[in-house]
Amino acid sequence: CDIQGVQGRLGAGYFFTDPQIHGTLHRWGKGDLGREGMRMFFTAHRCNEVCRLLGLTPSNSTYAEDNDDDDGETGTLAMKQLRDQLKQQAKVKPPPAAPKPSTSKSPSPVPGGSSFGTATLS
């Protein structure tokens, strides 16, 4: 994963652009360079304020081919920790509730009129 961006003026935060994902299956578009893209990223990466804000543990930025985990991805210790944290958060979130089917019948629109809203007078 690679995110490029700039820091906003007068401490306005960061503006992220050009996100890129490198995966072992090359399914993230033309910029997905697979393991070679991962190697190039981790060779050049230096932990910074963004890494600290994400709570990532600094690593020696060494790309480790033998650091495969069960989903086939690789990376530094910081990336493994982030991936594990995101997996844990995904397990905690309950699935979204399915919408309940409506049992009421909608009124028929008036010919030549609008069906944007209905009102009932008592």
At position 110, the amino acid (one-letter code) is: V
- Does some domain include residue 39? yes
Contact 50, 14 (CB under 8 A): yes
Which pLDDT score is estimated for 93? 60
What are the residues facing 17 on neighbouring strands?
A: 4
Blockwise average pLDDT, block size 10, the chain, 122 residues: 70 73 87 86 80 75 44 52 70 66 55 43 42
Which pLDDT score is estimated for 17? 72
- Does some domain include residue 50? yes
Angle, vertex CA 113, rays to CA 108 and CA 114, nearest 5: 75
- Does some domain include residue 110? no
Domain hosting residue 66, numbered range? 2-91
- Does some domain include residue 117? no
Which pLDDT score is estimated for 119? 41
CA 17/CA 45 separation, integer angstroms = 17
- Does some domain include residue 20? yes
Which pLDDT score is estimated for 32? 87
- Does some domain include residue 104? no
Tell me the pTM.
Answer: 0.38
When divided into structural domains, the chain yields a total of 1
- Does some domain include residue 112? no
- Does some domain include residue 101? no
Residue 114 — left, alpha, or beta (φ > 0 → left; ψ -120 to 50 → alpha)?
Answer: beta
